[in-house]
């Protein structure tokens, strides 16, 4: 079978294109519609049709703006897998999130490739105190002499290069900071922020509990997606920093629950 894209691109074999889409989703866990269309050099209209076909065969799950593997609620993508996904969106989100930090702030920062990018944007600030359980965030801040960095204790979780467990949670107990900057694997209006791993979720909850305000950094591939363990409910989220490809209906629902939306233009 040969398909012709509606935007006039050359015909391509549907079977070959769908196989490539499956490979991308299997490798990355979750991939946006925009990224899939770019990778297979087809229009988003064509890729949507492919995703419907693949979903009907039980090979993937369609979501707002992309696709995930079946049973992906408990799948935790590694740092290496996530590092190359939505790089432009993560960069724009990091820039916008950094505007929520002021000189002299005390903040906590959770693990993730987006929070790592955010940390790199903090060099212009002075007298910051940053508490984190992320080795990536700590490394990003290591060269900034005017920023005090404090790592939690804990057990290293290799896939995301973060410290988890009771020691990490204890080191956050009694802490009070202005804002928590956290990420996750999914964000919906019904369940809020979620992650596939219980240990990661418990430390994220402790990070959020330490802050006067919770700021979630999530690119469009995570909006409308559910993972197994809830981190914070939508009602606990004060700010969401995302990009302009995020599904508008989910953003509207989150806004209706009091979440202040900050949308980065790509």
What is the predicted pLDDT for the residue at 8?
45
pTM: 0.75
Token pair, residue 65, equals 């703006």
| C-beta separation of 172 from 206 below 8 A | yes
Last residue of a domain, one of 33, 50, 70: 70
Contacts of 87 (CB under 8 A, 6+ apart): none
What is the predicted pLDDT for the residue at 239?
98
Question: Which one, of 250, 127, 242, lies nearest residue 178 by Cα?
Answer: 127
Mean pLDDT of 206-234: 93
Mean pLDDT of 199-216: 97
Last residue of a domain, one of 39, 70, 101: 70
| Buried residues in 84-110 as b, exposed as e (16+ CB within 10 A) | ebbeebbbbbbebbbebbeeebbbbbb
| C-beta separation of 224 from 234 below 8 A | no
Same domain, 52 and 158: no
What is the predicted pLDDT for the residue at 71?
62
214: domain CATH number?
3.40.50.1360
Same domain, 131 and 228: yes
Same domain, 250 and 205: yes
39: domain CATH number?
1.10.10.10
Question: Which one, of 260, 250, 227, 220, lies nearest residue 86 by Cα?
Answer: 220
Same domain, 57 and 117: no
Q: Which of 64-68, 81-85, 237-241, 246-250 has the highest mean pLDDT?
A: 237-241
**Structural domain containing residue 150:** 79-264
Which of 58-62, 100-104, 179-183, 186-190 bottoms out in mean pLDDT, i.e. has the lowest? Answer: 58-62
Residue 86 pLDDT > 60: no
Residue 80 pLDDT > 80: no
Contacts of 52 (CB under 8 A, 6+ apart): 62
Mean pLDDT of 218-240: 91
Same domain, 62 and 96: no
* Tens digit of each residue's pLDDT (9 = 90 or more) over 121-177: 999 899 999 999 999 999 999 999 999 999 999 999 988 899 999 999 999 999 999
Last residue of a domain, one of 38, 70, 102: 70
What is the predicted pLDDT for the residue at 122?
96
What is the predicted pLDDT for the residue at 125?
92
Number of domains in the chain: 2
Share of the chain above pLDDT 90, in %: 61
Same domain, 43 and 86: no
DSSP state of 174: T
Same domain, 122 and 211: yes
Token pair, residue 56, equals 């009907």
Q: Which residue has the higher pLDDT, 85 or 133?
A: 133
Same domain, 14 and 90: no
Same domain, 60 and 125: no
Mean pLDDT of the chain: 87
Same domain, 162 and 112: yes
Same domain, 103 and 229: yes
Same domain, 21 and 135: no
């Amino acid at each position: 079978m040969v398909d012709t894209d509606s935007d006039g691109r050359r015909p391509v074999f549907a079977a070959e294109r769908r196989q490539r889409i499956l490979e991308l989703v299997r490798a990355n866990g979750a991939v946006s519609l925009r990224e899939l269309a770019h990778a297979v050099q087809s229009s988003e209209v064509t890729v949507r049709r492919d995703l419907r076909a693949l979903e009907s065969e039980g090979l993937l799950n369609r979501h707002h703006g992309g696709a995930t593997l079946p049973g992906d609620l408990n799948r935790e993508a590694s740092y290496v897998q996530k590092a190359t996904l939505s790089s432009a969106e993560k960069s724009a989100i990091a820039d916008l999130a950094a505007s929520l930090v002021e000189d002299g702030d005390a903040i906590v920062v959770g693990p993730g490739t987006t929070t790592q990018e955010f940390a790199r944007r903090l060099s212009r600030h002075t007298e910051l105190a940053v508490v984190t359980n992320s080795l990536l965030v700590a490394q990003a801040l290591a060269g900034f002499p005017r920023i005090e960095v404090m790592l939690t204790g804990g057990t290293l979780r290799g896939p995301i290069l973060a410290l988890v467990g009771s020691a990490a949670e204890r080191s956050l107990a009694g802490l009070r900071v202005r804002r928590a900057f956290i990420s996750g694997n999914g964000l919906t209006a019904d369940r809020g922020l979620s992650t596939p791993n219980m240990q990661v979720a418990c430390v994220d909850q402790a990070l959020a509990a330490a802050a006067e305000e919770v700021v979630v950094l999530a690119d469009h591939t995570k909006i409308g997606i559910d993972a197994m363990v809830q981190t914070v409910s939508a009602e606990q989220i004060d700010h969401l920093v995302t990009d302009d490809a995020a599904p508008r209906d989910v953003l509207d629902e989150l806004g209706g629950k009091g979440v202040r939306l900050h949308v980065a233009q790509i």
